[in-house]
Amino acid sequence: MLLLRNQIQPYAWGRLDGMSDLVGTEPSGGPEAELWVGTHPSAPSIVVGDPEGQTLAEVIASDPARWLGPVLAGRGWTSLPFLLKVLSIGEPLSLQAHPSAAQARDGYDRENEAGIPLDAPQRTYRDPSAKPESLVALRETWALCGFRTAVESRELVAGLGLGDLSPLIDALDLPDQPTALEGALSWILGVAGPKRSALSAAAVAAAERMASGGAGDPYRWVVNLGHQHPGDLGCLAPLLVDLVRLAPGDAVHLPAGNLHAYLSGAGVEIMAASDNVLRGGLTPKYIDTVELLHILRFEPGVPPAPIETNPAPGMTAYDCGEDAFRLAVIDASSDAHRFTPEGPSLLLATGGPVRVTDDGGSVELSAGRAAFVPAGSGELEVIGPGRLWWATVGSELLSPCERR
């Protein structure tokens, strides 16, 4: 096992000292949005001890067969296919979606051919990979996820009583659901200039009259988003996209083509190690509405939640059916729990310290600390008052196949 030191991303939407409050890290005095554990080049974990000071990415790339196992290395992997995060959501994130693998490859090649640098602000595809995600709530969490039916959206928009939104209502009147929803979102994203700002202000004022005040009220979120992003008609998104509440322990799956935005809360997130985000609004970052509309799936409904199983005493696994990752949590308590990872794994402690032991020794993970376990390390024993999050690859990536 390798003990890791992990980086915190101070994005503006993070809660003040959010990671300190969640996982026990030292407070920074500023916004703390995401704790990253893995090999992603934007914030790779640092190895503590031998080899001291190297990033986990450098260690794995130096000998992929040793650290990832012969199957993953044989398929050409030189880094972890997944990234583990803790999110502390103080303000809503951007309205966004992620591409499929085929869409990502096409977009990456297209932007390379156009000569757009990988670090350019207007770059949409920064790698040729899909970016499915899943989040397990640590606290009550609210998110926009998946389209409402066109009928429901029409009723919510009509409830604002604004004649200037009649083109939106007309779009939602179309009989085919995906066509109606695509037309409605296209209209919202396409309004520009002073008209966009005026409509946004009018929608927020109308929503204030309609809002009941509850966290599950879409009009309340129109008001909140409108105040945080003045002039952005994306504040109407809660009238088209479903509101999802996650109690602690509940999980959500965000597959390719799903329109979503985290609104508030906190959770442990697992995702494919990609940087491909298509944004449609509610952000100062680059917005590519044409490409967003191209990659979205407009069928109404929230994606099925991960399937929860209990493969071992004290363990809850969240199965999304994704190849790149699997996630489980172990309530270590005072009794020892044992499990045997098949592939390379990341372990992260929250809520208290956890001791992890393998054939080579043991490490004490205080809350917020993490470790990397190479493929083929054998049985692990876990004990302590905290919780241990276990991230690893999906079973499909561990199936032998020819190198790509």
CA-to-CA distance for 172 and 154, rounded, in angstroms? 6
Closest CA to 26 of 40, 53, 5, 54: 5
- pLDDT tens digits for range 297-315: 999 999 999 999 998 888 9
Position 334 scores a pLDDT of 61
Least confident of 47-61, 164-178, 206-220: 47-61
315: phi then psi, degrees, rounded to nearest 5: -115, 135
- pLDDT tens digits for range 141-155: 999 999 999 999 999
- Would the pLDDT of 291 be above 90? yes
- Would the pLDDT of 400 be above 90? no
- Residue-averaged pLDDT of the chain: 93
Q: How far apart are the first and last CA of the chain?
A: 29
Domains of the chain are 2-137 (2.60.120.10), 141-295 (no CATH), 307-398 (2.60.120.10)
Catalytic, out of 123, 154, 279, 369: 279
Q: What is the three-class DSSP state of 32? A: strand
Exposed/middle/buried for residue 117 (C-beta within 10 Å: 0-12, 13-18, 19+): exposed
Closest CA to 107 of 268, 256, 272, 264: 256
Provide mean pLDDT across the span 177-197: 96
- Would the pLDDT of 332 be above 80? no
Position 77 scores a pLDDT of 94
106: phi then psi, degrees, rounded to nearest 5: -65, -45
Please say whether the beta carbons of 335 and 145 come within 8 A.
no
Pairing of strands 133-137, 251-254: antiparallel
Q: Which two tokens stand for residue 363?
A: 């490490």
* 279 is an active site residue: yes
Closest CA to 315 of 333, 303, 301, 297: 333
- Would the pLDDT of 2 be above 70? yes
Position 42 scores a pLDDT of 86
- Would the pLDDT of 342 be above 90? no
Please, which pLDDT band fits residue 213 given cuts at 50, 70 and 90? confident
Position 21 scores a pLDDT of 80
| Helix-strand-coil split of the chain, %, nearest 5 | 30, 30, 40
